[in-house]
Each structure stands twice: as structure tokens, then as C-alpha cells.
Structure 1
């Protein structure tokens, strides 16, 4: 099973991804193992989806990424603030 996650950093940037183990993936992001997030941390998990199959997770990840961090992302994840 997979989960979609949203990360935040101190510069209010967001990163959306999917993983079988979001907590371990967060460690990878914070240790510089991910090209896009490297040097932009520390990252914290703002939101994690319920577990789902890979197809569902990819659909949700793409839907969230299309929101570009705007109101749609906040509505879909119920995130508050920035």
C-alpha cells in the first residue's frame, strides 16, 4: 500500500510525493537523497493520505500537484495556513 504526502520547509515551499513508507522517505529528503528537495530543508510532513494502491496514489499525487499549492490543495488535504 502507498501513501501520498505533503512536505513543508521553513521557506514555505511544498513537496508532494508518494511512498510505501512516508516517514522513511522524509529521512531521505532531509539527508539530501532527493534531487528536488536537496539543500532546501529541513522538511516536515504536513499531511499524509490514507493507504491506497499504487494507481490510486498516483492519481491523487497528480491531482494535488496540479493544484500548485493553492486553495485546491488546502481543500483536498484540509491543510491550514500557507
Structure 2
């Protein structure tokens, strides 16, 4: 399984969007400063994740989310996804 995920810094409210095949390990790496971009910007909380069968599917969603460039639009998109899953 591959995951596209969005984490948010509780210190600065900054978002990070990524993809991985081991979500628990990846979150641990973000929160223990073993990622260049998120280092010393945490702690980080998971606010969204979506599972896929292939890495290419996860990467496609990651690319789409990174293209939003607008915080409010990203939050609105996350809310819509949560409503679909209810």
C-alpha cells in the first residue's frame, strides 16, 4: 500500500504534503527531525491520508495537492473528502 498524506505543524500551522509506503514510519521520521524540509518545524499531526495500490497513484494525488498552492482551497478539499467518507 502507498499513501498520500498531509501533515500540519502544531507549532506554525504549516502543511507538508507527501507520499510513502510506510505511513507510521514516515510520521515518526517527520517528528524526530529526520526529514530536511520538516526538520525543527514540528511537532507534526496527520490531518489527511489516502491509500493506493500503486506509487504512481499516490504520486498523482500528491502532485495535484501540491498544485493547489492555496491553504483555504486545500482545507476545503480535505473537508470534501471527509464528507464523502461519512
- TM-score (ref. length: structure 2): 0.82
Report which of the two has the higher share of helix: 2
1:13-67 Cα deviation digits (max 9, x unpaired): 0000001111110100111110000000000101111333111111100000111
Which position in structure 2 is the counterpart of 1:9? 9
Which position in structure 1 is the counterpart of 2:45? 44
Gaps of at least 5 residues in structure 2 are none
- For residues 62 and 75 of structure 2, the distance between their equivalents in structure 1, rounded to whole angstroms, comes to 14
- Between the two proteins, the alignment pairs up a number of residues equal to 80
- TM-score (ref. length: structure 1): 0.85
Contact 2:2-2:53 at 8 Å conserved across structures: yes
Rg comparison, structure with higher value: 2
Gaps of at least 5 residues in structure 1 are none
Report which of the two has the higher share of strand: 2
Q: Which consecutive segments of 4 or more residues in structure 1 shift more than 6 A?
A: none
SS at match of 1:24: helix
- 1:6/1:69 CA distance change after superposition, 3 Å: farther
How well do the aligned residues superpose, as a CA RMSD in angstroms? Answer: 1.9
